[in-house]
Structure 1
Amino acid sequence: MAFRRRTKSYPLFSQEFVIHNHADIGFCLVLCVLIGLMFEVTAKTAFLFILPQYNVSVPTADSETVHYHYGPKDLVTILFYIFITIILHAVVQEYILDKISKRLHLSKVKHSKFNESGQLVVFHLSSVIWCFYVVVTEGYLTNPRSLWEDYPHVYLPFQVKFFYLCQLAYWLHALPELYFQKVRKEEVPRQLQYICLYLVHIAGAYLLNLSRLGLILLLLQYSTEFLFHMARLFYFADENNEKLFNAWAAVFGVTRLFILTLAVLAIGFGLARMENQAFDPEKGNFNTLLCRLCVLLLVCAAQAWLMWRFIHSQLRHWREYWNEQSAKRRVPAAPRLPARLIKRESGYHENGVVKAENGTSPRTKKLKSPLRPKC
C-alpha cells in the first residue's frame, strides 16, 4: 500500500516493480483525478471520471427526478473505479488476508485459493448488501411486475447505474489481477471462465435495459457464491469443518431453479406480452422474439453449465471419499503379540531393588513394542 516500507527495491518500471507497486501506481492516478477537482480548468474533466454521466431530469407528480442512461462516457468512469478497486484489493490482501494466512501456514496451492476466496467473500458480501438495499428501496421485490412493465427501462436511478458501473469495474479489474497476483497457469482458465461469465451477464443486462431483472439475478447468484467461498475459508482453517459445504450444496440447486424460473417469467412471458415489440436501439428497445430467445438461451446455458460442473465435482468428491473408505477397510489389522511373562530373578530385595545372590543388581530387560502397520 502507499507509503509502506519495502524490503526489496526493483528497477523502475520493470516487471517486478509494476507487480509489487501496482496499488501505489493506481493510488497516484486516483490522487491526480481528485486534485483535478480543485481547479476550474480541470474540474469538468475530473467529474467525468468520478460521477456517472448522461443525467436527465424526469418530471414526476411532485417534482423532477434525476435519472441516467448509458453511453460511451461510462467507459471513463469505469476506468476510474477500476483503479479504486485495485487499491481496495491491495488493502484487503495486505491488512487482512496476509495476516490470517501467516497463522494458518498453508501450502502454495491452498494459499492461492485462500486469497481468491477471501477477496470474493468481501466483494460478494458488500455486493449482496448493496444490491438488496437497491432492490428494496426501488420496490422491485414488492412489485415483481415492475421487472418487465414499462420496458425499455432506459432511465435508471443514480444508485442503480452506479451499482452496475462498480460491478463492471470490479470484474474488469480481475483480469489484470491475474497477472499482478501471479496466479498459477493451471488456475487461469478456471478464473477466466467465471470472470467472462459475469462480465457478459452484467454488461448484457445493462446494455439491453434489463437492469431490474439483472439486479434480482445478481442478488441470488452473489448470495450463493458468498456461502461457497465462506465455506472454503472455514475449510482452509479446519479441514474437518465441512458443514457449510453441505448448506451451500443445498442452496446451489435451489438458486439455479429460482434464476431459471424468474428469467423465463420475466423474459419469456412478461416481455412477450408487451405491446411495443419493435427493434429500436436508439430508444433502447430490444424486445423482439430473436433477442428474447438469445437472452433466455444464454441464461439457460449458463445455469446448465454451472449445474453440470456442480454435479461433476460432487460425484468426484464422493468417488474419492468412498475409495478412501474402501482402502481403509482393506488394510489388515496388525496382529497383537502376546505379552511375555517376566520371570523374577533369583535373589533378594533391598530398598525396592532386586539384588542377585552375589550382591550385584541384574539388568532390567526392555519390552518390545508391538509392530505398527505401514501407512
Structure 2
Amino acid sequence: MKKSYLETMPDENGFFGKFGGSYIPPQLEVPFQEINAAYKELKNSKAFIDELKYIRKHFQGRPTPITFAKNLTQHCGGAKIYLKREDLNHTGAHKLNHCMAEVLLAKHLKKSKVIAETGAGQHGVALATAAAYFGLECEIHMGEVDIKKEYPNVTRMKILGAKIVPATHGLKTLKEAVDSAFEAYLKDTDNSIYCIGSVVGPHPFPMMVRDFQSVIGFEAKEQFLEHEKALPDHVVACVGGGSNAMGIFSGFIDEKSELYGVEPMGKGNKIGEHSASLTYGEEGIMHGFNSIMLKDEHGEPAPVHSIGSGIDYPSVGPEHAYLKESGRTKVGLCNDNEAVEAFYKLSQLEGIIPALESAHAVAFAMKLAPTLSKEQTILVNLSGRGDKDIDFIIENYPQ
C-alpha cells in the first residue's frame, strides 16, 4: 500500500527535498535530539494521544465548525466560499493546537519552563494558556513594535502569568523576537524548552508543528464532505511561517484540491515593504533551517513589513518552500489595503471579525471566487479572530 505524503515527508534528518534540516549551535544539538526522540515516542503513545484528544474536545472546543459564507459568496459572485472556523478555537486562533501538545511534550521531558517568540501575540497567548493548564513557567519574547500594536494580547499573556520580554533590536518585530527567544533558551536548556510557534526552525519543529496542526485539515475534510458531498476545489490559507496553512493543507495534500498559500504584499514590492518570501525570496539559512528567505544586499535576512504582525517574517516554513517548488501548492498575494477591506467585509457581511493575518486569506478568496463558476468551492482557513486588531484598525483605518 502506498504511503501517504505525511508518512514520507520529511526524511529522517528533517528535509523536505533540499529544504529544512537542522543548522544549530553545538550546544543545542543534544536538546534538539532529546525533543526529536521524545516526539517520536509520544506520537505513537496511546496515553499521549488520548490526553491530547481529551484536551481538544473538553478544553479547546474542537472540532471547530465549517461555515458557509453565504453573504460573502453573493457579494463576490462565482464560487461558494466556506470558512474553517479556527477563530472559534479556545484563545481565538489555531495556535493552541500545537501549544497544548508542545507543553505536554515539555512535561514528558521534565522541563519546568517554556520559552517562545510571538508576533501577533496569538502564539504567546496560546502558550501562556497551555503553561497555565499544565503548571509550567512561561516566558514570551515579542518585538517592541508588536507589543504596542497587539497590546490586548500582551495583556492576556500577563493575566495568564507569562513573563513578557521585549525584543528591542533591529526592526523590533517577529524576526527579532525569535532571535531573543533563541538566546534565552541557549542559557537554560536543562530546565526549559523552546516552543517554536510555526512550521519553522530546526528539525523536528517543522514536522512536529505540522502534525499537531493537521487536526484542522482532517476535521475540515470530513466536514466539507458533509456540506458538499465532495472535497473543496480550492483551499486557501495565509502564510507567514505557515502553521495554519500546513494544518489545513495536511487534509488535502493527497487529494486533487488546489492549495493556495497567501503571502503578505504589504505596501509594495520593494525590499522592506512586504513579507512575500516565496514570491521574492531565494534559498537561505536562518533560525536553524534552510528555506526560501528574503535577503538584503549583504545576503542577510531583509527587513519586512505586513499589517499582520503574525506573518511579517523574512522566511517561510521549509515544507512550504518544498511544496511550492514541487508545484503542489500555488502562491497567492494580498496587500495591506486588501486585507483591511476583507477584514471589514467579512465583519459586516457575515458577523465574523477576522484576524488581520486571516483576512489575507479571505481577501485572496474574494479575488479568486469571481474567476470561478458557481459550482466551484473555496475553503478558507480562518486561522484567528480579530479581537486583537480592532483598536489598531479603528485608529488607523476607520470607515
Greater helix fraction, Structure 1 or Structure 2:
1
Asked whether the two chains share a fold, i.e. TM above 0.5, the reply is: no
Q: Give the structure-1-normalised TM-score.
A: 0.30
Q: TM-score scaled to structure 2, two decimals? A: 0.28
